[in-house]
């Protein structure tokens, strides 16, 4: 009888262990795409991607890291990661791959990219205009469709960006600079809000233009992370994207193995309080 | 023979002397003015826009596309950006990475033969006339509002489409050197109108819309006060403009030819000049050059023809 109880106990414990949520449950998978780029040389994009990957490699909260994911892989990866509250991330350098955004300027069709975003995942973009496809296939319609905001544009070159208090804390590699395609916060609509700005035209969270910054859809949980949308400029893109992911994103999406009562509310709650 | 009384003759002679004295005085004044002008001319700072700013503008109109073209005489000009200007740019663009200007250096003196350049960017009216007459199917032309209004510059996103139009019109795209000389004259000025930024002299919205009175591109020729020394309009702002040269960011450092340069043999896309309606300050400088995948830079073009020999 004692042996039976012991075996049953071990089996129960094993079952509980198997059924318990794994540490990977909320971990983030990241796909860094450099096959097609705009406003940045391919070699420079590859260099920035490698800097980013080096800084992310082996860090807590990241399950899978794909560097230079080829375009033939991106569609399958994106579809596989289109799960509710995925929090996974595609990093781009000025071009959204045609394999996941193939409708050009047609606002009526849903794309793999939009489904991925609507499932609570995120895109990061550097260099040229967010979702402006190579060859001008999307033009301004890219971001309008992705956000479902018909007036959204990203014009405004040479806009001085001052690092915010949050930027100083979370992105130490970021200095004041000038952006060429800032996020127009005054055009945010529907469920989109500014979550955190690391640099804005005013140096505070209250501003009309930001870059780098994260805008968040409060309904879907999708996020757009804009980092250095500049032309012909040698910014520390890889470092700043890494700092945003490691110092902010992983925490805010609950990817880190920490007590949710403890560290997570400290950072995000603190930022929200300051606005 | 006319005779006169002694007194009358005296009076007439008196008048004659007075007239002669007046003439001499006038000649003296004119001579002094001439000398002064020469002195002023000789002592002038070479960066002063007055040197080339008030040249008489010589124009022709080409029959095929009914385009007014302005004359750019043969001679030397300063192309690219000097180290001294870089120091100046550090002050006026303090947040810009200086490495951004590397593709414009070193500055050099370039000689060009005389040519005519379109006074305005090619318009939708002209581009559609070309399409109608030839049946050409453009690869990427924005034939939709708000871009395709007849007197707006044609937004021609593909370089091949611009070349096709130029061939039809019996013209060609300017070389980068020709474009830059037509924009800045001979004195190396920063913008077509001079060295001081003035956002009332170009079509540029800075993304906020309507600052210049137009939401995006403006009808050609709306900013005459921003015209170049040779009378070319909209060389800064409105649309980026295609030139014939391939783009190589290191080209200037390879000691390219200084007489009628035509750019490298190949490169990463073609050069774009002048900045567009969404750009200001830095991008609209005459020496600024971008290439590679142009992405969200909205672009058009203008054409040139060689001036007949002897002009």
**Per-residue pLDDT tens over the stretch B146-184:** 899 999 999 999 999 999 999 999 999 999 999 999 999
- Is A275 part of a structural domain of the chain? no
pLDDT tens digits for chain B (311 residues)? 333 333 343 333 444 444 545 555 555 555 544 443 433 333 333 333 333 445 568 899 999 999 999 999 999 999 999 999 999 998 888 888 888 899 999 999 999 999 999 999 999 999 999 999 999 999 999 998 889 999 999 999 999 999 999 999 999 999 999 999 999 999 999 999 999 988 889 888 655 556 677 878 999 999 999 999 999 999 999 999 999 999 999 999 998 899 999 999 999 999 999 999 888 788 999 999 999 889 999 999 999 999 998 77
Q: Report CB contact under 8 Å: A159, B140.
A: no
| B207 vs A180: CA distance, rounded Å | 10
| Statement to judge: residues B151 and B217 lie in one domain | yes
Domain residues for A30? 2-270
Which CATH number is A239's domain given? 3.40.50
Residue of A nearest to B215 (CA): A155
Residue of A nearest to B102 (CA): A232
**Per-residue pLDDT tens over the stretch B35-68:** 434 333 333 333 333 334 455 688 999 999 999 9
| B21 vs B24: CA distance, rounded Å | 5
Q: DSSP secondary-structure letter at B304?
A: E
Number of structural domains in chain B: 2
| Statement to judge: residues B218 and B111 lie in one domain | yes
Which of A136, A139, A209, A228 is most worth mutating to test chain B (most B CB atoms within 10 A of its CB)?
A136
Q: Report CB contact under 8 Å: A161, B95.
A: yes
Number of structural domains in chain A: 1
- Is B100 part of a structural domain of the chain? yes
Q: Does B292 touch chain A (CB under 8 A)?
A: yes
Residue of B nearest to A41 (CA): B292
Quick one: pLDDT at residue A106?
74
- Is B36 part of a structural domain of the chain? yes
Q: Does A234 touch chain B (CB under 8 A)?
A: yes
Q: Which residues of A touch B282 (CB under 8 A)?
A: 157-158, 178
Q: Which residues of A touch B296 (CB under 8 A)?
A: 38-39, 128-129, 132, 136, 139, 154, 181
Q: Report CB contact under 8 Å: A178, B93.
A: yes
Give the count of Cβ contacts less than 8 A between chain A and B. Answer: 89
| Statement to judge: residues B131 and B150 lie in one domain | yes
| Statement to judge: residues B37 and B152 lie in one domain | no
DSSP line for A107-173? SSS--HHHHHHHTT-EEEE-SS-TT--GGGSSTTHHHHHHHT-TT-----TTEEEEE-HHHHHH-TT
| Statement to judge: residues B137 and B107 lie in one domain | yes
Q: What is the ipTM of this complex?
A: 0.81
| A262 vs A252: CA distance, rounded Å | 12
Which of A154, A175, A232 is most worth mutating to test chain B (most B CB atoms within 10 A of its CB)?
A232
Domain residues for B11? 1-44
């Amino acid at each position: 009888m004692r042996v039976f109880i012991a075996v049953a106990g071990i089996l129960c414990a094993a079952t509980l262990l198997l059924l318990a949520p794994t540490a990977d449950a909320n971990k983030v998978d990241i796909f860094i795409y450099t096959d097609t780029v705009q406003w940045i040389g391919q070699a420079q994009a590859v260099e920035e991607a490698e800097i980013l990957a080096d800084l992310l490699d082996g860090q807590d909260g990241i399950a899978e890291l794909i560097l230079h994911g080829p375009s033939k892989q991106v569609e399958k990866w994106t579809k596989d990661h289109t799960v509710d509250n995925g929090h996974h991330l595609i990093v781009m350098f000025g071009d959204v791959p045609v394999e996941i955004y193939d409708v050009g300027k047609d606002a009526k069709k849903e794309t793999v990219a939009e489904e991925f975003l609507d499932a609570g995942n995120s895109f990061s973009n550097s260099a040229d205009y967010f979702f402006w496809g190579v060859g001008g296939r999307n033009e301004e319609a890219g971001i309008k469709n992705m956000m479902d905001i018909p007036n959204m544009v990203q014009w405004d070159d040479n806009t001085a960006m001052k690092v915010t208090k949050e930027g100083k804390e979370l992105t130490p590699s970021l200095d004041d600079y000038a952006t060429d395609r800032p996020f127009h916060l005054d055009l945010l609509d529907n469920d989109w809000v500014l979550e955190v700005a690391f640099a804005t035209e005013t140096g505070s969270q209250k501003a009309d233009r930001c870059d780098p910054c994260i805008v968040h859809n409060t309904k879907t949980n999708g996020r757009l992370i804009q980092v250095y949308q500049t032309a012909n400029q040698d910014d520390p893109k890889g470092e700043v994207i890494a700092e945003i992911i490691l110092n902010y994103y992983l925490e805010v999406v609950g990817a880190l193995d920490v007590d949710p009562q403890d560290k997570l509310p400290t950072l995000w709650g603190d930022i929200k309080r300051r606005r | 023979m006319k005779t006169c009384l002694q007194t009358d003759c005296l009076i007439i002679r008196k008048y004659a002397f007075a007239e002669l004295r007046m003439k001499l005085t006038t000649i003296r004044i004119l001579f002094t003015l001439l000398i002064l002008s020469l002195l002023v001319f000789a002592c002038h700072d070479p960066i002063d826009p007055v040197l080339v700013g008030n040249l008489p503008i010589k124009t022709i109109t080409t029959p095929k596309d009914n385009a007014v073209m302005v004359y750019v005489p043969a001679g030397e000009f300063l192309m690219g950006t000097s180290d001294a200007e870089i120091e100046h740019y550090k002050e006026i663009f303090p947040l810009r990475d200086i490495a951004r200007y590397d593709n414009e250096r070193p500055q050099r003196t370039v000689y060009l033969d005389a040519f005519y350049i379109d006074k305005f960017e090619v318009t939708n009216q002209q581009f559609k006339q070309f399409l109608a007459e030839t049946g050409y199917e453009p690869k990427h032309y924005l034939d939709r509002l708000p871009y395709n209004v007849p007197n707006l510059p044609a937004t021609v996103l593909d370089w091949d489409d611009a070349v096709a139009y130029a061939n039809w019109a019996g013209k060609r795209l300017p070389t980068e050197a020709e474009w830059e000389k037509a924009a800045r004259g001979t004195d190396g000025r920063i913008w077509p109108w001079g060295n001081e930024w003035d956002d009332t002299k170009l079509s540029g919205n800075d993304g906020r819309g309507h600052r210049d009175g137009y939401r995006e591109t403006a009808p050609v020729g709306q900013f005459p006060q921003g015209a170049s020394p040779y009378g070319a309009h909209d060389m800064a702002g409105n649309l980026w403009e295609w030139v014939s040269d391939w783009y190589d960011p290191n080209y200037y450092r390879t000691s390219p030819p200084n007489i009628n340069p035509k750019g490298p043999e190949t490169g990463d896309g073609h050069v774009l000049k002048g900045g567009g309606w969404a750009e200001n300050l830095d991008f609209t400088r005459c020496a600024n050059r971008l290439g590679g995948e142009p992405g969200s830079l909205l672009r058009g073009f203008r054409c040139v023809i060689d001036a007949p020999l002897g002009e």
